[in-house]
A and B are shown apart, each in its own frame.
Chain A
Amino acid sequence: MMKYEIKKTFRAKEVIVWLILFPIIMGTLYKFTLGNIFSGNQFSAVRLAVVQNTDDGMFRNIMDNMEKTDPPYVKLTYCSSEEEALSLLYKNDVTGVVVIDPAPETGEKKEDAFDLDTVDTQAILDQYLSTGTVNAFDDQGANDFLTKYLDGDENGYVKDYLANFTGGEFFPKTHITLKLRKNGMDETMAKKMVMMYINMQNQVREMMDFTHMTAESGDMISKAMNGQDNIVEPLQLTTGNTDPFSSYMYNLIAMVAIFGSLVGVGIAQTHQADMSPEGARRSCSSLPKSISILACFFSYCISMAICVSICITFLTLVLGVDFGSRLPLVYLSGICGGIMGVAMGFFLGCVGKMSPGARSGFVMALNMTLCFLSGYIVMGIKGILEHNAPIVNDLNPAAIICDSFYYLNMDAGLERFIGQLLKMGIYTAIFVILGFILTRRKKYASL
């Protein structure tokens, strides 16, 4: 009987399409469209067009250094006019346009320690570059401060700036405008870059206002300006495959497993006399209904195991999806999910009275909803539910199957994976028991 049921399963077009062809088509499509998409989310240099209406060389110097970092933070295109820069923005060649204008005159005059407007900055620079010291000020502390600061190991951008300084105002006051087309991550990064530059400009000005300069404070300022390389220590959470693309593949296998319910519905339909002629024939046969149902259930489970295995094998061997190092457990999890799907179908097939077409439509809609909620179409949905209604993820059979793959891939241990397997087992047992209860002892006055 089991052999007959297995043969019957694979003769059904729905099974071939939904459980074998559909995952192959969707897997290929996912790989084709989403395979490289998440690498595009990795940080790449923010593209900015710069229109410089002043002789402020500091911007170019600092940003040029940021362009040389690995990976570079910015990629600059210098334009001669705002129109040229805006045309690049409208063609999406750049994320934003930075316009540097002279700052409007405020009439205020601050007493700077170096009094930048009166000191001959060209002479200071020539002196520093030729002798390695600064002796331009009456105050020796100020001379030592500037020498020590310029000597700082990592003040490369300042030295570059000094080397390229061609006269004019040392740190001209500027007004920077950032022109953007839309909101977004790139645009926020562009704003951060400009903000960082304005901060650095302000810091330099603040330094110039600092009147208690000594050689020691010059050294400290140099360290403060440059010593942030080690402040953030990245920690590794997992050795598993962290590519978000995997989530779609977990969902695809979960969908195949849950679609086992389309097969499982057949158990109820072929064992209830009022649902199908086959059910009527079985009802009057001498074979006990429980044995017949169990035989049917196990044969469908075997069919599902074959379908899920085909799906996992295709994804792994043909599409090269990385499920981590514990592939046999991936098969185990998928097969358990498939069995749970069949059990769910058995239960749903016994609930209420519906025509076979309506029931299969209902099961299909339910399956699609469960798969959608586990992130089959929109990946972020599972996170939103986890944050706002975690109970949905805990109860959703598709999410349980997905999580089992996720835990297998990401966790070092197997505790959480085993937990998901237990959940699948409990669900299977509940569905089968309820199915048996709903199908037993039914008598029909007329068919």
Chain B
Amino acid sequence: MQVFKLFFLIARSKIGIGILYLVIFLAICFPMVHSSNQQVDFEETRLNIHVDDQDQSEASRLFAEELAKKHGIVKLENNRETIMDALYYQIIDYALVINPGYGNNLANLSEEAAPQSLFATFHLNDSYKTAMMDLYLKDYVRNVRLEIAMGKNLPDAIAGAEAMLSTKVDVEMVSPPEDDFRNEGFTDKFATFFRMLCYVLIAVIPNVLAPVMLAMNGEDQKKRIACSRVSTSSYLFQLFAASAVLTVLIWAVFMIGGMFLYGGIYQGINCWLAVLNSFVFAIVSVMFTIFLCSFRMGNTAIGMISQIVGIGMSFLSGAFIPQSMLNASVLNVAKILPGYWYVRAVDILSGAQEGIMGDFWVCIGVQAGFFAIFLAITIILRSHHPKRKRVKAQATAKA
């Protein structure tokens, strides 16, 4: 067990970076996953809206109250810079100004009042959110004015319009028959945790494992082990066992962290399939690390490469931005990366992407294929290493 112990002795000094990643990662995921909900009923998207009531009339107050029932109201300072910053950094989705004279103009259906706008809006880009709000404002005003046209006074007209706009729509959530295996335990929001693991595993595992492996491959360690009673086969066995244990430990820590975010033991088969998927990806990450170590690079170089590969692959694979938002050419390129198949499997399980159980296993299979490719290349690289060739050549010459 000497090699095994030595491995963990070295690993202990490198574990700081792993803990750092874990803490940061869980801290980031917490707000994203905390609001995870069961997707049994349809939930309307609520917008964050800043309302500047410049009319301060009864009508504008009632409108603001009605708006607050349907959307989140964010209070901001009424200056353009604050509103612009809030829109740009997505603190609010829409900034609405209720124009002075709103109360009077709302009830006025005369020709003179027609060109006067009731609201002013600030938004940086046209989006679904702005289209939805515009539609809502028009619907609200139409309903109030219709009630007024039919002889009601303004307060009654507003009450009537609010009643009309509270119309219930019969919404039914459906899923394909082949999705019968899907359960409600693995929501799209919680899937964020597993998607982000794509970056974290590929960034953490090489950063923790590679320094240990490089140190183990160092001349000093090698010579010490060579003159000990440990046989080569025992050395290799202990080295692989230690690597496997360390990887499983890192992976298990993330899985346990995930349970904290989930709020207990994972429920349902889909969660456990996602756990399996992450384990397979962790194994691919380990093989990638061993592959990198075959090039006999330094710690810094491996750190750099793992960061570049981690961030690059995560962007291309849809770990940070949903695959559904990436264009086809990007996704075609991403297919040559294991991260793409990992994220796709998570998406299939969460229902974010079309797919059945068979597709999920295809994703697992492709990741296993990447493992095999890395393994094959690593074996080829190690068997043709220039240093080994030189040693062999020297031995032949001596003989």
Q: Give chain A's interface residues, CB within 8 Å of chain B.
A: 13-14, 17-18, 22, 25-26, 29-30, 32-34, 36-38, 40-43, 73, 86, 89-92, 97, 175-189, 191-192, 194-196, 198-199, 202-203, 206-207, 210, 212, 217, 220-221, 223-225, 227-228, 230-235, 237-238, 242-244, 247, 357, 360-361, 364-365, 368-369, 372, 377-384, 386-387, 406, 410-411, 416
Selected contact of B90 from candidates A91, A360, A383, CB within 8 Å: A383
The 7 closest A-B pairs by CB, nearest first: A383-B89, A224-B145, A220-B149, A233-B117, A43-B131, A242-B124, A228-B138
**In the complex, which residue of chain B has the Cβ closest to the Cβ of A188?**
B45
Complex: A377 Cα to B326 Cα, angstroms: 16
Q: Count the B residues whose beta carbon is within 8 Å of the partner chain — how many?
A: 93
Cα A289 to Cα B327 in complex, Å, equals 56
**B143 touches A (CB below 8 Å):** yes
How near does chain B come to A349, taking the closest CB pair, in angstroms?
Answer: 16
| B354: contacting residue among A33, A36, A90, A410, CB under 8 A | A90
CB distance from A357 to the nearest CB of B (A): 6
Interface centre among A36, A196, A221, A237 (most CB of B within 10 A): A237
Docked complex: B111-166 residues within 8 A CB-CB of A: 114-132, 134-139, 141-143, 145-146, 148-151, 164-165
Give the docked Cα–Cα distance between A179 and B137 (Å). 25
Q: For A383, what are the chain B residues with a Cβ–Cβ distance below 8 Å? A: 86, 89-91
- Once the chains bind, are A181 and B17 in contact (CB under 8 Å)? no
CA A73 – CA B176 in complex, angstroms?
A: 27
User: B246 near A: Cβ within 8 Å?
Assistant: no
Instruction: List A contacts of B352 (CB < 8 A).
Output: 182
Q: Chain B's nearest CB lies how many Å from the CB of A101?
A: 10
Other-chain contact of B164, A178, A180, A203 (Cβ < 8 Å): A203
A382 to chain B minimum Cβ distance, whole angstroms, is 5
Shortest distance from the beta carbon of B40 to any chain A beta carbon, whole Å: 11
A284 to chain B, nearest CB (A): 29
**Are the C-beta atoms of A207 and B169 separated by less than 8 Å?**
no
> CA–CA, A416 to B314, complex, Å?
34
Question: Which residue of chain B has its CB nearest to the CB of A21?
Answer: B308
Given contact pairs A42-B125, A247-B88, enumerate 14 new A-B contacts (beta carbons under 8 Å). Answer: A14-B304, A41-B128, A185-B132, A192-B136, A194-B169, A198-B167, A221-B149, A225-B146, A242-B125, A365-B20, A369-B24, A383-B86, A383-B89, A383-B90
Q: Inside 8 A of B174's CB, which chain A residues have their CB?
A: 86, 89, 97, 179-181
Determine whether the beta carbon of A34 is less than 8 Å from that of B24: no
Asked if B58 is an interface residue, CB under 8 A from chain A, the answer is no
Residues of A within 8 A of B87 (CB): 237
Q: How far is the CA of A203 from the CA of B164 in the complex (A)?
A: 8
Select from chain A the residue with minimum beta-carbon distance to B304: A17
Residues of chain B lying within 8 A (CB to CB) of residue A186 = 128
The interface residues of chain A lying within 8 Å CB-to-CB of B134 are 232
What are 12 residue pairs bridging A and B, where the CB atoms are less than 8 Å apart in the complex? A22-B308, A42-B127, A189-B131, A212-B151, A221-B146, A221-B150, A225-B146, A227-B145, A233-B120, A235-B97, A242-B88, A378-B28
B138 and A232 contact, CB distance less than 8 A: yes
Binary per-residue interface labels of chain B (89-115) against chain A in the complex, 1 for a CB within 8 Å, 0 otherwise: 111000001010000000001000011
* A195 close to B167 (CB less than 8 A): yes
Interface assignment of B194: CB less than 8 Å from any CB of chain A: no
Known: A188-B44, A221-B146. A234 touches B109 (CB 8 A): no
How many inter-chain residue pairs (CB < 8 Å) link A and B? 247
B105 to chain A, nearest CB (A): 9
B300 within 8 A of A: yes
Contact call B126/A42, Cβ cutoff below 8 A: yes
**Contact (Cβ within 8 A) A25 B150:** no
User: CA–CA, A284 to B325, complex, Å?
Assistant: 61
- Contact present for A386 and B117 (CB under 8 Å): no
In the bound complex, what is the Cα–Cα distance between A208 and B39 (angstroms)?
40
| CB proximity of A151 to chain B, nearest CB, Å | 15
A42 to B136, CA, bound (A): 17
CB distance from A266 to the nearest CB of B (A): 13
Q: Are the C-beta atoms of A372 and B24 separated by less than 8 Å?
A: yes
In the complex the two chains form, what is the Cα distance from A163 to B275 in whole Å?
60
- Cβ A36 vs Cβ B114 within 8 A: no
**CB-based contact A203/B146 at 8 Å:** yes
B287 to chain A, nearest CB (A): 23
* Cβ 8 A contact of A237, one of B42, B124, B326: B124
Q: How far is the CB of B295 from chain A (nearest CB, A)?
A: 14
Q: Decide if B351 touches A199 in the complex (CB within 8 Å).
A: no
Residues in B neighbouring A244, C-beta threshold 8 A:
88, 125
A237–B118 touching, CB < 8 Å: no
Binding-face segment, B222-230, B249-257, B315-323, B381-389:
B315-323
Q: Is B117 a contact of A232 with CB atoms below 8 Å?
A: yes
Contact of B128 among A25, A43, A91 (CB under 8 A): A43
Residue of B nearest to A248 (CB): B315
